[in-house]
Amino acid sequence: MDFTNKIVWITGASSGIGEALTYEFARQKAKLIIFSNQQKDLERVKKKCDEIGADCYIQFLDMMDIDNFQSITDKLVERYGQIDVLVNNAGISQRSLVKDTPLEVDRKIMEIDYFGTIALTKAVLPYMIKRNSGYIAVTSSISGKFGFPLRSAYSAAKHALHGFFETLRAEVFDHNIKVLIAFPGRVKTNISLHALTKEGKAHGKMDDGQNTGISVEKCARKYINAIKNDKKEVLIGSTELLMVYIHKFFPGLFYKLARKIKPT
């Protein structure tokens, strides 16, 4: 896929993987719509896109503000004529034990990571079907491949995304719409800083594993290459990705290793 003048909509574009994806698409001459609830950071990202020479439009909105997704999508399609690529990247993580986590925290994570993502996808999808063309990507996690301590709701939301987007891929094949599920492992972002605790507040700490993860730039390049090469799934990370294969082929060993994770 050549991204020149393609309309690319990226959620969660104000930091981390979404920000790095924005710059990589900008370098490949895409026309960008960037989406986040962090307005100052979005403006900073847009400024850098302007320096690169890319057409970049800011859409400030929260992923829980689902009721406004359709009207915003309609206005953006009116402005640009179409959405060629939707990258569902926004989300929030978790750092709390199941026994300590009140249901409202589980619900908030599901609302942001799952319902917000599928709501936006459903708003954009009819326009892609009408054109008989489009590409939809979603950022899951290796926690979407297996359960992991301290991430029960986050892992559940990512598993749910996997089921939804695999189903969507089968349903829209005849409409020439492609679907990619990306499974990042350890990527050096601030995701652990903003992860929700049992109190529903930001964790405020950088995980050791996160801090030694691959760069967001490397992650973005692998992510976009997967889109270009029409991959159905892509695992992105380093040695931690071995856990995906251990879980699949040696489940007993996986559960033994998972039990050794110490609560923080």
**What is the pLDDT of the chain when averaged over all its residues?**
94
The residue with tokens 């960037």 is 34
Please report which confidence band the pLDDT of residue 148 belongs to, taking 50, 70 and 90 as the band edges: confident
Pairing of strands 177-184, 56-60: unpaired
Please compute the mean of the pLDDT values over residues 208-227 and round it to a whole number: 90
What mean pLDDT do residues 204-210 have? 73
pTM given for the model: 0.94
**pLDDT range class, residue 175, cuts 50, 70, 90:** very high
Neighbouring C-alpha atoms within 13 Å toward the C-beta of 21: 33
Q: Are 13 and 86 in contact (CB under 8 A)?
A: no
- Counting DSSP H helices and E strands in the chain, the numbers are 11, 7
CB 76 within 8 A of CB 60: no
- Average pLDDT of the segment spanning 223-243: 96
Q: Are strands 134-139 and 85-88 parallel, antiparallel or unpaired?
A: parallel
- Cβ partners under 8 Å of residue 30, min gap 6: 3, 4, 5, 6, 7, 8, 54, 85
**Does position 264 have pLDDT exceeding 70, yes or no?**
no
Q: How confident is the model at residue 262 (pLDDT cuts 50, 70, 90)?
A: low
**Of 134, 131, 7, 139, residue with least CA distance to 63:** 139
C-alpha 148/C-alpha 200 separation (Å) is 19
- For residue 204, give the DSSP letter: -
User: Which pLDDT does position 251 carry in this prediction?
Assistant: 94
d(CA 164, CA 166): 6
3-state SS assignment for residue 156? helix
pLDDT tens digits for 44-58?
999 999 999 999 999
CATH no. of 7-259: 3.40.50.720
Each domain of the chain, given as residue ranges in start order, spans 7-259
Average pLDDT over residues 172-181: 98
> Two tokens at 52?
């690169």
pLDDT higher than 80, residue 208: no
Residue numbers annotated as active site: 154
With 80 as the cut, is the pLDDT of residue 31 above it?
yes
